[in-house]
Amino acid sequence: MILSKAASIRRHLIRVAEKAGVPAEIFKSDLDRQEIVMFNLQMAIQNCIDIAAHIVSEEGYGVPGSANDMFYLLEENGLLAYEATEKMVKAVGMRNLMVHEYGKINLDQIHQVAQKDIKDIETFIQSIIKKLS
């Protein structure tokens, strides 16, 4: 399950990179591009949440109260470094903003995340796979 989700995340990140690799002004003027990027970011982050939930459940790390708690539990049990945990917590916040408050989205911020911060999701996947191998 983890490897399947990781492959799905990588596909979503490729799609984000394909569509976000333009100047901010082009990104902000192209609704289709924005929606493709946001959908694929949401899916990549959700798959990270799913991986975290699976590990927390399978390993009996506790009962998380939120998606963020799952990443803290992974950190507490040595699967994530502090920096990676904090970045994933921020990613969950971004996902929540995209899913629940679409009208308040800052397109400059989405563009920035899509161009520079998506590497944090790949770092998460690599950390998990390395620790579980």
pLDDT-based confidence at residue 101 (cuts at 50, 70, 90)? confident
Nearest to 110 by CA among 27, 47, 45, 14: 27
Q: How far apart are CA 58 and CA 123, in angstroms?
A: 22
pLDDT digits (tens, 9 = 90+) for 56-77: 999 999 999 999 999 999 999 9
Whether the per-residue pLDDT at 133 is higher than 90: the answer is no
Please tell me the predicted confidence (pLDDT) of residue 22: 97
Nearest to 114 by CA among 54, 2, 33, 52: 33
**How many domains, the chain?**
1
Please tell me the predicted confidence (pLDDT) of residue 102: 62
| DSSP label of 79 | S
Residue 15: give its domain's CATH number: 1.20.120.580
Percent over 70 (pLDDT), the chain: 98
How far are the Cα atoms of 13, 88, 90, 97, 133 from residue 118, in angstroms, in the given order? 7, 10, 12, 16, 23
Domain that holds residue 100: 2-132
Whether the per-residue pLDDT at 126 is higher than 80: the answer is yes
Active site residue 95: yes
